[in-house]
Amino acid sequence: MKDADSDSIEDRRTFLQKALPAPVALLSLLQGQDRKAESKEESEPAYNPAEHYYGMGIDPGLCIGCGRCAEACKAENDVPREPFYFRTWIERYVVQTSGETVVTSPDGGIAGFSPVAEADVLRTFFVPKLCNHCANAPCVQVCPVGATFITPDGVVLVDKDYCIGCRYCIQACPYGARFLHPVTLTAEKCTFCYHRLVKGLVPACVEVCPTQARIFGDLRQRRSPLHRFMRFNKIQVLKPHLNAEPKVFYANLDGEVK
């Protein structure tokens, strides 16, 4: 099943590849063919992806909606500053006594929120969001060229040099976590700050979160803070019915959160 699938994907990819300008082919003809030279172990000897499997825990009950995570994410990953590109963002939920729920996220929460009109509010809270790094990621399944993939350590990444900008993955993501980079015209999303992980640092959003509303950890390690987080909280994931097996775990999530 899996093989048949990847074969047909391969065909589509070859087709698309051939549609690309021929000069690229000529260029690479001139380069050496040593396959081993690019293997990843070589450049990062200390880091073994097989030893890790990352996930994030989020406790909306601790989130103060300061937006520092969204700010740090943009600075760390050179995300375009325009208010509609985010790798992580914060939503404010206002559940009214009438039953209606108003969700806002002006500028992703970076510049703060205007105060809630307090009359008729039943409850109100913040929810941080980001790519869920699904173990069964719909975005990876729809990519026609293999430009988005899951690493052995459980992170969904985009190969921006290989992405053809077809936007399938942006459509497929149930969490709205992807966008098209306005300059490179390739798909973009949260990487769990992969470049920090391989150096033993936590993602930038976790580093700057002042209330530990975000917990980062390794699902393979019992001593990980994520393990404790999952032991002591009632855990929920977003849109579980889609079977995407997200790896961003929410503690005591409100039923209104979609």
Partner 1 sequence: MPQQVTRLAVVFGILILALVLARSQLVPKTFGQAGHYRAAAVTEIAAAKIHYAGHEACAACHEDIAKTRSAGRHRNVACEVCHGPAADHVAAPTDVHPSAPKQRGRCPQCHGYDSARPTGFPQIDPVTHNPVRPCISCHQPHAPETPREPEACGACHGSIARTHAVSAHALIGCTRCHETDRRHKTTPLLIRPSKPASRAFCAGCHARDAGSPKEIPRVDVTTHGERYVCWQCHYPHFPEAK
Residues that bind ligand HEC (CB under 6 A): 66, 68, 210-211
Distance CA 59, CA 61 (A): 5
Shortest distance in whole angstroms from residue 115 CB to ligand HEC: 16
Q: Which is nearer to ligand HEC, 25 or 111 (CB)?
A: 111
Q: Which is nearer to partner 1, 17 or 240 (CB)?
A: 17
What track of x and - describes contact with partner 1 for positions 17 through 56 (by CB under 8 A)? xx-x---xx--xx---xxx--xxx--xx--x-x-------
If one asks whether residue 77 binds partner 1 (CB under 8 A), the answer comes out as yes
Q: Which is nearer to partner 1, 82 or 118 (CB)?
A: 118
212's contact among ligand HEC, partner 1, none, with CB below 5 to 8 A by partner kind, is partner 1
Q: What is the DSSP string of the chain?
A: -HHHHHHHHHHHHHHHHHHS-THHHHHHHHS---SGGG-HHHH-TT--GGG--EEEEE-GGG-----HHHHHHHHHHT---STT--SEEEEEEEEETTS-EEEE-GGGGTT--PPPP-TTEEEEEEEEEE----TT-HHHHH-SSS-EEE-TTS-EEE-TTT-----HHHHH-TT---EE-TTT-SEE---SSHHHHTTTPPPHHHHH-TT--EEEEETT-TTSHHHHHHHHS-EE-SSGGG-----EEEES--TT--
| Total site size for partner 1, rule CB under 8 A | 70
Q: Which is nearer to partner 1, 25 or 185 (CB)?
A: 25
Shortest distance in whole angstroms from residue 89 CB to partner 1: 15
What track of x and - describes contact with partner 1 for positions 81 through 100 (by CB under 8 A)? -----------xxx------
Q: Which is nearer to ligand HEC, 48 or 211 (CB)?
A: 211
If one asks whether residue 61 binds partner 1 (CB under 8 A), the answer comes out as yes
If one asks whether residue 12 binds partner 1 (CB under 8 A), the answer comes out as no
The residues in 203-232 that bind partner 1, with binding defined as CB under 8 A, are 204, 207-208, 210-212
Shortest distance in whole angstroms from residue 6 CB to partner 1: 6
If one asks whether residue 63 binds partner 1 (CB under 8 A), the answer comes out as yes
Distance CA 8, CA 129 (A): 34
